[in-house]
């Protein structure tokens, strides 16, 4: 198999995990829980995509499952959270805009994972 074939396969094997959330922040305890959840996401290698959307590149479905499990373990008691995974190929079809100007998605950061 040629390198192009492996690259194409990798686009379907590597995943993006997106976490969407709407957390209550009316009380000090709720604000603290929301801040802790965001910090847990950042500590696990997620990056803020928008205010309540965080995302993380994962080189494989198995790796994505590890980070999804960590996110589920960090869920706050209140609020709405959605976790979605899409392939790198699917993410590559996103249309991103800053204002009316279309921009290219940023390439995934190189991450060193130690198990």
Question: What domains does the chain contain, in order, with CATH numbers?
Answer: 13-103 (3.30.70.240)
Mean pLDDT, rounded, of the chain: 88
What is the rounded radius of gyration, in angstroms, for the C-alpha atoms of the chain?
16
Decide: 68 and 83 in contact? Cβ < 8 Å.
yes
What tokens appear for 44 in the block? Answer: 């696990």
What tokens appear for 55 in the block? Answer: 């995302």
Average pLDDT over residues 28-54: 97
**DSSP state letter for 100:** T
Is pLDDT at 110 greater than 70 in this prediction?
A: no
H or E element in which residue 84 lies: strand 80-87
pTM, rounded to two decimals: 0.81
Average pLDDT over residues 60-80: 97
**pLDDT confidence tier of residue 115, bands split at 50, 70 and 90:** very low
């Amino acid at each position: 198999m040629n390198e192009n074939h492996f690259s194409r396969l990798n686009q379907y094997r590597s995943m993006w995990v997106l976490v969407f959330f709407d957390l209550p922040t009316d009380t000090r305890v709720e604000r603290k829980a929301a801040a802790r959840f965001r910090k847990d996401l950042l500590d696990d290698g997620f990056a803020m995509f928008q205010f309540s959307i965080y995302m993380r590149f994962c080189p494989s479905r198995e790796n994505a499952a590890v980070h999804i499990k960590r996110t589920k373990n960090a869920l706050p008691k209140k609020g709405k959270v959605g976790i979605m995974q899409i392939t790198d190929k699917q993410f590559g079809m996103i249309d991103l805009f800053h204002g009316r100007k279309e921009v290219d998605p940023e390439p995934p950061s190189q991450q060193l994972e130690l198990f």
